[in-house]
Amino acid sequence: MEVYDYPPPGKEEQTTASRTHWLQRVLRFCRQRPLGAVGGLVFIIMALTAILADFISPYDPLQTNYGAMLLPPSGQHWMGTDAFGRDIFSRIIYGARTALLVGFSAAFFGATLGAFIGVICAYFGGKTDVVIQRFMEILLSFPMIVLALAMMAVLGTGIMNVIVAITIPLVPRSAQIIRSSALSIRNLPYVDAARACGFGHPRIMFRHILPNVVAPYLILLTAYLGGAILTEASLSFLGVGVAEPTPAWGLMLKGAAVTFAESAPWMAIFPGLSISAAVFAFNIFGDSLRDELDPKLRTQ
């Protein structure tokens, strides 16, 4: 009997197989969840717009031109101009950069801090869990926009302060969801085996429990992105978020809310459509990602 010794696949073959696997998953996701694929496409377009804003913007978003105030949409100014003669299309493009910077930063820090807190509560339990959860419930008793407004009243205006103000209300929401997932993992046999081997608490939490809550973490991250963008626009609209002359969609709505609602409606229409499209796209992408990653909801 002849025995053939086949060499193990090399690193290049493993990389090719991994890429093929991910490509198949992406194609399956697009085929089974077309709305989620559209949401992901909008996210990619928005990200590219924010990155390439310096190259694709036809005008300087901060440049004023008092000879071109309140011009309607035309071939020269696709979305018209505002009360200072600034090109609205250019400000929409740069506003995507502001929205993604604030939205992604707040969603990332909120979901990440909440994940760490949730894992700590689930792992230690007892008094640690009780004390932290009571504090989280106090924060949850405030609506997100109200808590964000209170934080802005303390911190003041500015992009970094807006990120902090939106991050804080997201932490308790993320902590409770991750905690519920980590509770089901804490008592699994491989965690007991890690304890029996004498591994320390940090290693068990961050190497054996935390990686197994990545799926709900990713879902929370995408779901919070739309809410963070909407909250940033709300804060800017109320005058306590991003300050002039920074291009921001909520700030553009504020400038057109009352004074120019009838005489120059394009000043409010295009920023409003941008906010609606971004929030809707991120929400449906987050829902589709949840359905794809949750074994109970996954379509075979």
Which has the minimum average pLDDT: 31-45, 66-80, 205-219, 266-280?
Answer: 205-219
Distance CA 11, CA 80 (A): 54
- Comparing 112 with 292, the larger pLDDT belongs to 112
What are residue 206's phi and psi, to 5 degrees? -95, -10
pLDDT digits (tens, 9 = 90+) for 70-109: 889 998 999 999 888 999 999 999 999 999 999 999 999 9
Average the pLDDT over 200-226 and give the result. 85
Residue 18's pLDDT band (cuts 50, 70, 90): low
C-alpha to C-alpha distances, 59 to 86, 93, 126, 246, 251, nearest whole angstrom:
8, 10, 59, 15, 19
Residue 198's pLDDT band (cuts 50, 70, 90): confident
Average the pLDDT over 106-114 and give the result. 94
Residues 6+ apart with CB under 8 A from 174: 110, 111, 113, 114, 115, 117, 118, 217, 220, 224
Residue 211's pLDDT band (cuts 50, 70, 90): confident
Q: What's the confidence (pLDDT) of residue 107?
A: 93
Distance CA 120, CA 253 (A): 42
pTM given for the model: 0.84
Q: Provide the b/e sequence for 44-82 (b: ≥16 CB within 10 Å).
A: eebeebbeebeeebebebeeeeeebeebeeeeebebbbb
Residue extents of the structural domains in the chain:
33-55+77-293
Residue 170's pLDDT band (cuts 50, 70, 90): very high
Pick the CATH number of 33-55+77-293 from 3.30.360.10, 1.10.10.10, 1.10.3720.10, 3.40.50.300: 1.10.3720.10
